[in-house]
Structure 1
């Protein structure tokens, strides 16, 4: 029963933090570290299951947008019309995916070697500051379809930076979007859409390695539980954040990041 509870807890953490700008990888690492969870049991296969759950959630939530973008992309072949907003968004998403795909492919081992609670503290703190700055100097009313391809590449760099432990993928890309003049909801929507190809690609790369791990029926059940909980919670989180940004800013997440960083630092210094 304890193992099932742990799987559910990690599913809730993944589903909540994957799209809130507070770092899913950082919270998963901290949860496993402080609760003494078996890192071998909840290894790569479980990580893939959690990310597949959140991937399915974002696809389900934006299914109509994705259908329009897919049709627009097919219409664009072989002569794209960047005056068509859906076609432009399709190509902006492709460009925005390139930096993280390249960096992840070339330096994946390097980033995995940086995983530690202190790295999470650093990532949360730095981006907490950037959340506040982006609200002060950015966040105009530009729509995602009006972005340049240079803007999309810059947001893509933000997604690549999120490979660092403690750096939220959604937080980084939304922040870069605000700096470039997008409003919060547009920045969040573009961030969620651009998470689809990079998450799908990461899962596809990891599945062969995960498949080689010994998987008993009980572990399979735990992974399915984590997958289902992650997907359900992620869907609700996306809806919540888009509604939240209609009225509130990124500052709340900055203060949360500072509080978590301070708490974790104190616990580590006390020897926990």
Structure 2
């Protein structure tokens, strides 16, 4: 376990804020760092708190969408039980987004039993390197072949399910979650801005669910209260950097330059793959 100094906490927060949202696979980078630089994992609670900080960054950027979705979630239930829901020819956009997020989250329940197998893949840097190269191809082609006019009004349940499957596949270390889901959306004909928006909204239940499950276990193992200031510093950096990372992804996607991240993934993937053979 790393001696969690204030500087190290802030550095880890920066890495989390960048890698969580840019389509470069945070899990893949962590695996390669641990392998080539003998970088050990920080304590489990700090890792969970960093993910929670980036979750808050998504909430800040999309707070209007989230508020509207929560309101429409309860309105939808109310109309369903009152009998008014069946007479609504076209539900509000926020309510359709709620349905899309629910449907898109379902594939993760299929992946859940395979969590141990998927995590084991992180022990093989060569496999992670290949997955990074694959992520590069996904980004490259989606940016050139994708991008349409579908939005929250016109996207279908099938579209949401397919993007959700992409999110499930992205649990493999080296496959970027944001890269896969945004690319899947664009290839399905989503408007570029909506593809980014749906991708980050779709991440909320997945990250929140994983955080709640892990935090109970981590707290049960005990909390070193002397590290709380360092935890807080890391969270602040992760949240702030995460906020600007989201804005960067939104900007590049809207300008059709999302695929530029492909070159970075290819370079890191090829270099780490070659380095792995040299080390062996």
**TM-score with structure 2 length normalisation?**
0.89
Counterpart pick for 1:105 among 97, 103, 112: 112
User: Could you tell me how far apart the structure 2 residues matched to 1:263 and 1:3 are?
Assistant: 30
CA distance in 1, matches of 2:257, 2:197: 15
Mapping for residues 4-153 of structure 1, pairs under 5 Å: 4-39=6-41, 42-77=42-77, 78-79=79-80, 80=85, 81=88, 82-100=90-108, 102-116=109-123, 117-153=125-161
Q: Name the CA distance, whole Å, in 2 between partners of 1:38 and 1:219.
A: 18
Taking structure 1 as reference, are residues 130 and 232 closer, same or farther at Cα in structure 2, changes over 3 Å only? same
What is the number of residues matched between the two proteins?
Answer: 269
How much does 1:2 deviate?
A: 7.5
Shift of 1:136: 3.1
After superposition, the Cα gap between the structure-2 partners of 1:221 and 1:75, relative to the gap in structure 1 and judged at 3 Å, is same
Q: Indicate how the Cα distance of structure 1 residues 105 and 213 shifts in structure 2: closer, same or farther if over 3 A, else same.
A: same
Alpha-carbon shift at residue 34 of structure 1 (Å): 3.4
Task: Specify the structure having the higher radius of gyration (Cα).
Answer: 2
**Quick one: structure 1 residues 155 and 148, their matched pair in 2 at CA, closer, same or farther if it must change by over 3 Å?**
same
Shift of 1:104: 4.3
SS of match in other structure, 1:38: coil
Gaps in structure 2 of 5+ consecutive residues: none
Per-residue CA deviations over 1:162-189 (Å, capped at 9, x if unaligned) read: 1100111101101110110012221111
Instruction: Normalising by structure 1, report the TM-score.
Output: 0.91
Partner of 1:184: 192
RMSD: 2.0
Give the drift of 1:155. 0.5
Deviates more, 1:261-270 or 1:191-200: 261-270
- Structure 1 pair 172–68 and aligned structure 2 pair: CA distance change class (3 A): same
| Stretch of structure 1 that moved more, 178-187 or 148-157 | 178-187
| Cα separation, partners in 2 of 1:174 and 1:93, compared to 1, 3 Å | same
